[in-house]
Amino acid sequence: MLEAPNLVLLVVIATLFAGGVYLLLERSLSRVLIGIILLSNGANLFMLVVSGPPGGAPIVGLTAEEQMSDPLPQAMVLTAIVITLGMSAFILAMAYRSWQLNRHDEVQDDLEDRRLARLAATDQDVESTPGQDGRLATLDQEAAEARDEVAEMLTTGVEAGDQE
């Protein structure tokens, strides 16, 4: 006897996952954190929905055996919730620390990517004729103009590995 799962719950799960993935792609760590919380709630709800039809409390003597819900997924979801709580606390602390150090909590670009973007932008600058409309023409140039720690490091003479 297979019951179809509740449609409303499925829509809720889909919304949680979609919102979670969207926020995960943001640059700010606090939005990423909200995305992770949404995703984990979606995953937990998903586990409850797919693991069997709902029923009464699985306590012998309180519910008839056929009407009991499966307690195992509930125990697993509980564990997953606790783990997500720990993760969220850690990410919050990290976002705060990042704000303390940099005055922003962005998930920053890879240093190598930045260096490559700068090199590419330098090439573009040499090739293009000066005195155009002043707008940044290409993706490479735009990338080189985004928040740029490599330039700061070059001017201060410190490398990423040395800042320990």
Partner 1 sequence: MSWLVPLPVILPLTGAGLALAFTRHPRAQRIISVVTLTLVLIVAVSLLSLADDTPLVVDVGGWAAPVGISLVADRLASLMLSVSAAVTLCVLLYSLAQGLADGDEETPVAIYHPTYLVLVAGVANTFLSGDLFNLYVGFEILLLASFVLLTLGGTVARIRSGSIYVIVAVVSSMIFLVAIALVYSAAGTLNLAHLAERLPEIDPGTRLVLQLMLLIAFAIKAAVFPMSAWLPDSYPTAPAPVTAVFAGLLTKVGIYAMMRTQTLLFAEGRVDNLLMWAALATMLVGILGAVAQTDIKRLLSFTLVSHIGYMVFGISLSSQAGLAAAIFYVVHHITVQTSLFLVVGLIERRGGSTSLTRLGGLSKAAPLLAVLFFVPAMSLSGIPPFSGFLGKVGLLQAGIENGSILALVLVVGGVVVSLLTLYVIVKAWNQAFWQGIPEGLPSTRLPGGMVGPTAALVALGLALTIFAGPLFGYAERAAGDMRAQTPYIDSVFSRGDRGEGESPEAAP
> Which spans of this chain sit near partner 1 (rule: CB under 8 A)?
24, 29, 32, 36, 39-40, 43-44, 46-47, 50-52, 72-73, 76, 79-80, 83, 86-87, 90-91, 94, 97-98, 101-102, 107-108, 110-112, 159-161, 163-164
**Cα 160–chain centre separation:** 24
Nearest approach in angstroms of CB 67 to partner 1 is: 15
Measure the CA–CA gap between 23 and 71, rounded to whole angstroms: 32
Q: Are 141 and 121 in contact (CB under 8 A)?
A: yes
Pick between residue 110 and residue 133 the one whose CB is nearest to partner 1.
110
Pick between residue 112 and residue 127 the one whose CB is nearest to partner 1.
112
Q: Are 67 and 56 in contact (CB under 8 A)?
A: yes
Measure the CA–CA gap between 76 and 84, rounded to whole angstroms: 12
Pick between residue 92 and residue 124 the one whose CB is nearest to partner 1.
92
